[in-house]
Structure 1
Amino acid sequence: MLRKIAGASATNAARASMGVRLPAHWATASLGTNNYVVTVGLGTPARYFTVEFDTGSDLSWVQCKPCKDCYEQNDPLFDPAKSRTFSTVPCGARECRELPSRTCSPDNRCRFECAYADGSQTDGDLARDTLTLTPSDAIPGFVFGCGHENSGFFGTEDGLIGLGRKSVSLSSQAASRHGAGFSYCLPSLSSGTGYLALGGAAPANAQFTPMVPSRDLPSLYFLRLTGIVVAGKAVKVPAASMLIDSGTQLTNLPDGTFAALWSVFARLMGGYRRAPGLSFLDTCYNFTGRAALQVPSVALVFAGGATVSLDVSGVLVRLGSDEPHVACLAFTSTGDDAPVGILGNTQQKTFAVVYDVANQRVGFGAKGCA
């Protein structure tokens, strides 16, 4: 997964080979989000924050004092005045110039704005401070967003860690210490523990598929979906470019691809009672009184032959505690046949997902966590 960096110190080379691993949790019960979180320290002395990690964006951020408009979060807001190592980034800095949406304050502070596809957004000052990953591993001068106006669908997590390929992402800022790559495993239960790792070796069972370039989103990670297998039989679908996104819950397929999957899956599930669903989850079943279920297996096939045989938690998703016996097909349609979709975190559960950025490929290792 990793390459040694020319001229790096022996210490950094050793760090790259070993990597650093943070426990990861599905925060649906504790923080009201369907995404995955880790806990990191920020500032000197370090104060700890629980943040979502997101491969679908680059800039990391936390909510900061003073806050004009902050959503309710789990921990106290980050207070820059209480950190000895905090500083704002000036407008002329490279990190500021690389932001897609930025302004400059009258006193030369770089102002950022991040807007997400679901309408959520955060605005504030671009800043630097020490990021503590573990007691023995910290990144001084870590560039992040100090959000003073934040709104949207964030649950109560304290902020976000961006894992894209721009220079402001955590993975890019940690590359000199841990190598150009990272991995994670997303547990299938809120009571389970997975991980987010910077550096380290790929599991021996990982199957790799090449990253494919995107003109519109060049810093993010796209894979080429070439097939779907349901109950051991190939379903004929056109190839599609899929954004792999740890910060999106459900896999979003081109309309024709979704229709082909739906048709086969619904036929094989004909013995189960259908249940009303939601607007975006319309293939639902009521399993009340069923002690054992026979759910058709689903596998996603990517370029190069990498086959991701989904855990059952990646095939069916429960509607929630109000309807504990109802579960729905965990895929949605984009609404058109453009050959672009999203590989969401539900379908990535229990796999060790390896981003080998140095070699431009992504790997999937089965049974990476529970």
Structure 2
Amino acid sequence: MASGALRRRRGAPFRVSVILIAAALVRLAASAADAAERTAASGPEPDWHVVSVASLLPPAACTASKAAASNSSALNVVHRHGPCSPLQARGTPPPHAELLNDDQARVHSIHRKIAAAASPVSDRARGAKGVTLPAQRGISLGTGNYVVSVGLGTPARGMTVVFDTGSDLSWVQCTPCSDCYEQKDPLFDPARSSTYSAVPCAAPECQGLDSRSCSPDRKCRYEVVYGDQSQTDGALARDTLTLTPSDTLPGFVFGCGERDTGLFGRADGLVGLGREKVSLSSQAASKYGAGFSYCLPSSSSAAGYLSLGGPAPANARFTAMETRRDTPSFYYVGLVGVKVAGRTVRVSPVVFAAAGTVIDSGTVITRLPPRAYAALRSKFARSMGRYGYKRAPALSILDTCYDFTGHTTVRIPSVALVFAGGAAVGLDFSGVLYVAKVAQACLAFAANGDGADVGILGNTQQKTLAVVYDVANNKIGFGANGCS
């Protein structure tokens, strides 16, 4: 019995030691986690973003611009729902879920347009078979997030318009208007401009339109019907476009809308930067050079820029601009891979190349082929698991979300896009997460419904990058730190 008591006495210190060691390990782990948050601001690990939680949401007031434009034609670019926007209305912006649902509508419309253009069966033949076709001469503008301010006419009338790389024809609403949506500014009045003129039907600009007609006096009429059934109809015209007080573009061809309906918000119209001859960038090429660049700010409370022509940033990394004959308006890029936290996600370049990738200023969230997105999401989630962040509910099309409540800083794995030719473009933190609120910050990528659908490089992933469209040399570049 004495011997048993001795054994028990010898075992007790051992068990106490195990308990003490376990407790010490728990305290050590907790201390390490606390230390990571306390010292995060001193410098991130390689290939990780370290961000203050307090900075996740944009300020309520417009902040000073730190954009670096390349020439005198540069225009300020602002988010139409942010405090810097001339269109900002009283009250709160639309809910995030609504904006993302509208974004999906735009994506569907891009996919329909490209699929229809690639189909060997003509619209007429489809109609003969009794198939109902959506209008596909344009793209949904429900998510035209970014606007610029220009002047039109002589004297110049200030106009705030959406800028869109997925459209060609620029237009504003004009008076008299038989059916116009409500906009912030008065309608443009051609009668008050000494430089306004109608474009005749025989003019090359009219002949180049996809949908046109002639008035009884042989003046050109245009019609653009977007994928969500929004539309603008009116007279094709010329007038002086004022970019800055000292920089004008005489004889600019645009649409003077007289019947306009749809999801255009309170914007006065649109500036198209597509690849066709009627776009602003094409019309301005003789003066500024064949190309343009822009930088979208990291926050809806800051400003970026849109610049015609000008030199590319010294740090820009270029990839070939691909051309598709069936959809000549779109800018295609050769996306071939994705990296997370510095490591390549295992997806064959063939997956990305199957349908190609369009870069689009109007789409919010980048769309990837399903296999590529699944691999990206898995790698990102595993990396986030390193810090044990609490998961949050999905937000519309975004299914990988986190709750950062209670944290002072967060560590997020970097994401880089890899393009044909080897250009690897690292994304700003604002291009990795879409933050609806501190308790719901989501991976800012989504999957296409089908591997045959074209991929889309959206504007969230373009934030803070100087995006250079070098049309003359058929290449697109990305420069880091283009704006803040």
Q: Percent identity?
A: 66
CA change 1:117–1:284 in 2 (3 A) is: farther
Aligned: 1:64 with 2:174: yes
Q: How do 1:209-288 and structure 2 match up within 5 A?
A: 209-237=319-347, 238-240=351-353, 241-270=356-385, 271-288=388-405
Q: TM-score, normalised by structure 1?
A: 0.90
Hey, what does 2:220 align to over in structure 1?
110
One of 73, 87, 91 as aligned partner of 1:20: 73
Structure 2: tracts of 5 or more residues without a match: 1-69, 88-92, 94-142
**2:264 is the alignment partner of 1:154:** yes
Alignment equivalent of 1:170, drawn from 269, 280, 283: 280
Query: How many angstroms apart in 2 are the aligned matches of 1:34 and 1:146?
Result: 19
The answer for the alignment partner of 2:435 in structure 1 is: 318
Q: Distance in 1 between matches of 2:259 and 2:364?
A: 25
Corresponding residue SS for 2:413: coil
* Cα deviations by residue, 1:93-143 (Å, 9 ceiling, x for unpaired): 111111112222233222212233444322221111110111221111100
Q: Distance in 2 between matches of 1:268 and 1:128?
A: 55
* Partners of 2:392 and 2:439 within 8 A in 1: no
Conserved 8 A contact 2:152-2:159: yes
**More displaced stretch, 46-55 vs 240-249:** 240-249
- Cα distance, 1:268–1:18 mapped onto 2, change above 3 Å: closer
3-state SS, counterpart of residue 157 of structure 1: coil
1:359 and 2:473 correspond: yes
Q: TM-score, structure 2 length as denominator?
A: 0.69
In structure 1, what is the equivalent of residue 452 of structure 2? 338
1:234-285, CA deviations, whole angstroms, 9 ceiling, x for partnerless residues?
0122233211111211111122211111121223233222222333222222
Instruction: Name the CA distance, whole Å, in 2 between partners of 1:327 and 1:148.
Output: 42
**CA apart distance, 1:363:** 0.5
Q: Does 1:299 align with 2:419?
A: no
CA contact (8 A) 1:330 1:346 kept: yes
**SS of alignment partner, residue 195 of structure 2:** coil
1:76-155 pair list within 5 angstroms: 76-155=186-265
Shift in Å, 1:182: 0.8
* Displacement of 1:19: 5.4
Moved more, 29-38 or 60-69: 29-38
1:65–1:109 Cα change, 3 Å: same
The structure whose residues are more often helix, as a share, is 2
- Partner secondary structure for residue 166 of structure 2: coil
Q: In the alignment, is the contact (CA less than 8 A) between 1:95 and 1:168 conserved in 2? A: yes
Higher strand share: 1
1:42-53 equivalences in 2 (<5 Å): 42-53=152-163
Q: Distance in 2 between matches of 1:289 and 1:119?
A: 45
Give the 3 Å change call, closer, same or farther, for CA 72–287 of structure 1 in structure 2.
Answer: farther
The answer as to whether partners of 1:211 and 1:362 remain within 8 angstroms in 2 is yes
How far apart in 1 are the matches of 2:426 and 2:79?
A: 21
Alpha-carbon offset, residue 58 of structure 1:
0.8
AA aligned opposite 2:257: G
Q: Secondary structure at the match of 2:334?
A: strand
Do 1:19 and 1:178's aligned partners in 2 also have CA atoms closer than 8 Å? no
The answer to whether 1:75 aligns with 2:185 is yes
Q: Within 1, Cα distance between the matches of 2:446 and 2:147? A: 24
After TM superposition, the structure 1 stretch with the greater mean CA deviation from structure 2, 348-357 or 72-81, is: 72-81
Contact 1:230/1:265 (8 A) holds in 2? yes
Provide, for residues 186-219 of structure 1, a one-character-per-residue CA deviation record: whole Å limited to 9, x for no partner. Answer: 1111221211111111110000000111122113
User: Are the aligned partners of 1:19 and 1:199 in contact in 2 as well (CA < 8 Å)?
Assistant: no
Secondary structure in structure 2 of the residue aligned to 1:269: helix
Gaps in structure 1 of 5+ consecutive residues: 1-16
Q: Does 1:369 align with 2:480?
A: no
CA deviation string 1:328-358 (max 9, x = no partner): 2211222000162111111101011111111
Contact 2:71 2:307 in 1 (8 A): no
Match of residue 28 from structure 2: none
Distance 2:369 2:71 in 1: 39
| Whole-angstrom CA distance in 1 between matches of 2:261 and 2:389 | 40
The amino acid across from 1:299 in the alignment is A
Contact 1:26 1:34 in 2 (8 A): no
**Residues in 1 aligned to 2:246 and 2:402: alpha-carbon distance in whole angstroms:** 49
C-alpha separation in 2, matches of 1:285 and 1:225: 27
Question: What amino acid sits opposite 1:21 in the alignment?
Answer: A
Determine the structure 2 residue equivalent to 1:13. Answer: none
Q: Which has the larger radius of gyration?
A: 2
Inter-partner Cα distance in structure 1 for 2:242 and 2:174:
17
User: Aligned partners of 2:243 and 2:252: how far apart in 1?
Assistant: 11
Is 1:37 aligned to 2:144, yes or no?
Answer: no
Q: Which residue of 2 aligns with 1:349?
A: 463
Q: How many residues align?
A: 351
**Secondary structure of the residue that 2:282 maps to in structure 1?**
helix
Where 1:246 maps in the other structure, the secondary structure is coil
